[in-house]
Amino acid sequence: MAAAAVDRLSALADDVLRRVLYFAPAKEGASTAVLSRRWRSLWRTSGAVNLDLRSYHRAHGSDNTSYDIYKLFLGGIQAALAATDGPVTRLTFHAEVDRHVFMLLVNHDGEREQPTLIEVALAHPAARHVEEVRIAAIDTSCLQPAHHEYYYCLSFASLLSESLRDLHIVNCTNLTPAPPGTVFPRLTAVRLQGCRVSLSCLQDTIDAAPQLVNLHLESSSFPAGRTTLNDQLVCPTVTELSFEDCSWASAEEGAMLELHLPSLRCFRYKGHFHQVTLMKPQVSSSLVRTDLHFTGYTYGEESKIFWQFLIRNFHMVKVLKLKLDFPLQQIALPDKKEQDDDLSRNILFHNVEHLELDGCYGPAIQMEGVAIGDLLHSCPAVRDLHLKVIPIASMPSSFRSSVETQAQLDFDKSSSLRRVSLQFRVAEPNCLGFQLAKFFAEKSQVLEELHVDDGSHKMCEHMNWKQDSHAKVQS
């Protein structure tokens, strides 16, 4: 006789079930009330209302008219917020629909003075103590969201300022500031994704949030709000800043974006290298980690510009991560006689203990080894090294000496390097990854661990190791 099925879900404590329902869409969460008497109050007391239009499409199909969907969702918003029992600390709004429904949901109708559904949700009495707000509206009929005009408007004035702690806004094309004197005393994290907001509005919001520590700006644009020679952003309390695929109005004219970040500990950047050279991050010695992902590089620019930017702005970091979407040879410094003052005086990354480099290499240029050597030479205290190299095409094998020439300096004068992780694809027997693995294997007497990920080739099993090597080898 088959054993009786075990109801593991019912065995969970009420607090655990409420935590699960905390992330469930409101319509699905409310439907759990029919499961049993115990479940009737769980969703209502979860502390979250997640308004998701996709739930109504699944329940009612896509044949309804735009106005039918509007009425269904409006009724669902009001019913979900009215049904809550206890304080609501999390409110999310997600609309993913075509243009016609989208216009009804999030944009004002010029002929009718009525609030958008986002404003209806934020103005409900049940939302007056909300701590976390997430708003995402996606027009599925738009092929190029960054250049579309149908995304919604939102004012910081519609947000309840006293309790707000975490704010995440997606695809708001017109984000306007709150009235002067507004304060967000508990706001610690702001994430703007695909938004358009003036730098002056962003600055006003930062000024109104004295506890703001996490600022994440992604795929957003910042038109100039005030007429100045250079754009400025002052973030006195921010400890973690992400600036990914963003642009500001005067960047094309060569104007600088000055970032004043006296408390910064972690900086992330993703974008074209030329654009980041127009940024002037004013950071203190408290900066610990820098993640830089360069998606483009203007050919013809001198590689010393790359090093000038890195060393002058991030020489104090302990963790340095670099990802390059262009050949590594672009950052090599082949002629040391032409180095500028910063490089010639050995102003290096003396504090870097963890170094990661992710890049690619091409078929005809033999400077990738020099680039890797330059980076190793500039980090004399590094203990953990992670390298990921991907071939653009087959690579000649006559570059090995360029790796040794630079990297040999560090193994001869320092024994700080302890762990090396190397990831590559074997394009040919003498590819860059193979030569790097062989080079580090020959220096394995100073390593504690060498990890080689070459796909399925398991080259570590076929390498000769020095008798005095103490490295733990993994492949």
Give the model's confidence band at 1: pLDDT under 50 very low, under 70 low, under 90 confident, else very high.
Answer: very low
Residue with tokens 């409420």: 18
b/e code 428-438 from CB counts within 10 Å (16+ = b): eebbbbbbbbe
Integer Cα distance of 382 and 405 in angstroms: 18
| Residue type (1 letter), 72 | L
> In whole angstroms, how far apart are CA 206 and each of 75, 231, 233, 336, 355?
35, 15, 9, 43, 32
- Tokens representing 388 are 């990921």
- How does DSSP classify residue 310? H
Structure tokens at 31: 């439907």
Q: Is the CB of residue 158 less than 8 Å from the CB of residue 192?
A: no
At 397 the pLDDT is 43
Provide mean pLDDT across the span 167-173.
91
Averaged over 316-331, what is the pLDDT? 90
Of 105-109, 154-158, 273-277, which has the strongest mean pLDDT?
154-158
Please state which of the ranges 80-89, 123-132, 361-370, 394-403 shows the lowest mean pLDDT.
394-403
Q: What is the structure's pLDDT at 21?
A: 92
- Percent of the chain past pLDDT 90, that is, above it, reads 28
Poorest-pLDDT segment among 40-49, 152-161, 210-219, 262-271: 152-161
**Whole-number pLDDT of residue 333:** 72
In 3D space, the residue among 205, 213, 95 whose CA is nearest the CA of residue 157 turns out to be 205
**pLDDT score at 211:** 96
Dihedral over alpha carbons 12, 16, 17, 21 (to 10 degrees): -160
Range list of β-strands (E), 297-441: 319-327, 354-361, 384-391, 419-424
Residue 163: what pLDDT? 92
Which pLDDT score is estimated for 213? 97
- Residue 413 pLDDT > 50: no
Whether 426 shows a pLDDT value over 60: the answer reads yes
Residue whose entry in the numeric block shows the structure tokens 């820098």: 290
Q: Place 346 in a pLDDT band, splitting at 50, 70 and 90.
A: low
Q: Does residue 253 register a pLDDT over 80?
A: no
Neighbours of 229 (CB within 10 A): 8
pLDDT at residue 409 in the model: 36
The three-class DSSP label of residue 434 is helix
Average pLDDT over residues 234-251: 87
Cα distances (angstroms) measured from residue 416 to each of 211, 217, 388, 411: 38, 36, 21, 8
| The pLDDT of residue 455 is above 50 | yes
The pLDDT tens digits for 51-110 are 988 877 665 655 555 667 778 888 889 999 999 998 899 999 988 776 656 666 665 554
List beta partners, residue 97: 139
Phi, psi of 414 (to 5 degrees): -150, 145
Q: What is the pTM of this model?
A: 0.84
pLDDT band of 255, cuts 50, 70, 90? low
DSSP string, 242-253: EEES-EETTGGG
